[in-house]
Amino acid sequence: MQTLTLNNKKQIPVLGLGTWRSDKAKVSQVVEKAVLEDGYRHLDCASIYGNEKEIGVALSKILSSGKISRGELFVTSKLWNTEHHPDNVEPACRETLADLQLEYLDLYLVHWGIAFVHGEKLEPIDDDGMVKTEAVSMKETWQAMESLVDKGLVKSIGVANFTVPMIVDLLSYAKVKPVVNQIEIHPYNNQKDLIDYCHKMDIQVTAYSPLGSSGDQNDKPLNNSVVIDIAKAHDKTPAQILIRWAIQRDLIVIPKSTDSSRILENISVEDFSLSKQEMDKINKINKNHRFVDPIEWWGIPYFK
């Protein structure tokens, strides 16, 4: 499996298995098969996905099988927004480690650049429908993230859903630089400027929802005629074209699936490449459209 080098010299496999919305009842078996049979070495998890315990069962089986060592796997998780206070960061990380049955994470991300009130609900919403925020600066949270590296609980730290101004600010005080910014990327939201900025700052970028996410939106990049035509020309599927397009942009990409044939399909992208003309054609179908916008959940215009 191809890897990219992080700014701390560690390697990250370019393709990982996404687990957002992976059904608890299925995910254990799915992860076990993806790693042991299909060759996945990178798992993208988060405490808010509510399935880390089930993934931990799979990880325990995989590692005790003796077929794969811990060092061959790359496991990411994410700090939820209610846990940003420095007193809560290490307990949250330890809970994730216990759920995943691991002694360390390869990568721990601040899931969103916004602190929610701690201790009520995972998404505490006020009477007007807006999320309740807490007065905790990212600087305080980041310093607590840095101490997780010092303690050996995590190998690398990074962020998710960060915009350029958030990264500029973070870099002004970070003693440990974020290695990754994980953001929504697919041809309808190609994020060129943010990716260019992150790469200039030596921060790798992970594409989440690379297939246009789940949900029943009709107009998905998987159904785009440009993508479909290129897929036909290579005798590949539209999903494989979207994954290949991300890899050729020097991105890390984490398609989610719990379907065994799609999981294999999504990792089978190393035997072809897209030409410059094909890359350019896909680059042109951008329309800055997000499938994941927290305005719908938290009533807050996070990306505005």
List active site positions. Answer: 49
Return all residues near 140 (Cβ < 8 A) that are at least 6 apart.
84, 85, 86
Near ligand A2P by CB under 6 A: residue from 213, 230, 231, 282: 213
Least distance in Å: CB of 240 to ligand A2P? 7
81 near ligand A2P, judged by CB under 6 A: no
Radius of gyration of the chain (CA): 19
Strand ranges of the sheet holding 204-208, from the earlier edge strand across to the other edge:
17-18, 42-44, 74-79, 105-110, 154-160, 180-184, 204-208, 252-253
Q: Is the dihedral of CA 40, 106, 209, 92 positive or negative?
A: positive
Name which of 198, 191, 175 is nearest 246 in CA terms: 191
Near ligand A2P by CB under 6 A: residue from 62, 265, 282, 294: 265
Near ligand A2P by CB under 6 A: residue from 13, 16, 158, 255: 255
221 near ligand A2P, judged by CB under 6 A: no
156 near ligand A2P, judged by CB under 6 A: no
Other CB atoms closer than 10 Å to residue 29's CB: what's the count?
A: 15
Near ligand A2P by CB under 6 A: residue from 13, 16, 18, 178: 18
Least distance in Å: CB of 253 to ligand A2P? 9
Cβ distance 69 to 96 under 8 Å? no
- Alpha-carbon distance values, 98 to 15, 54, 68, 94 (Å): 25, 11, 20, 6
210 near ligand A2P, judged by CB under 6 A: yes
Residues between 224 and 253 that touch ligand A2P (CB under 6 A): 237, 239
16 near ligand A2P, judged by CB under 6 A: no
44 near ligand A2P, judged by CB under 6 A: no
Q: Which two tokens stand for residue 52?
A: 């880390």
Residue 157 bridge partners (DSSP): 108
The stretch among 38-46, 48-56, 96-104, 207-215 that binds ligand A2P (CB under 6 A) is 207-215
211 near ligand A2P, judged by CB under 6 A: yes
Amino acid at 172: S
42 near ligand A2P, judged by CB under 6 A: no
Q: How far apart (Å, rounded) are the C-alpha atoms in residues 125 and 132? A: 6
Least distance in Å: CB of 294 to ligand A2P? 16
Nearest CB to ligand A2P, comparing residues 43 and 93: 43
Nearest CB to ligand A2P, comparing residues 69 and 218: 218
137 in helix, strand or coil? Answer: coil
Q: Which two tokens stand for residue 298?
A: 């938290």
Strands (E), 169-291: 180-184, 204-208, 252-253
Near ligand A2P by CB under 6 A: residue from 101, 133, 214, 260: 214
163 near ligand A2P, judged by CB under 6 A: no
Residue 42 bridge partners (DSSP): 74
219 near ligand A2P, judged by CB under 6 A: no
Contact set with ligand A2P (CB under 6 A)? 18, 209-214, 222, 237, 239, 255-259, 262, 265-266
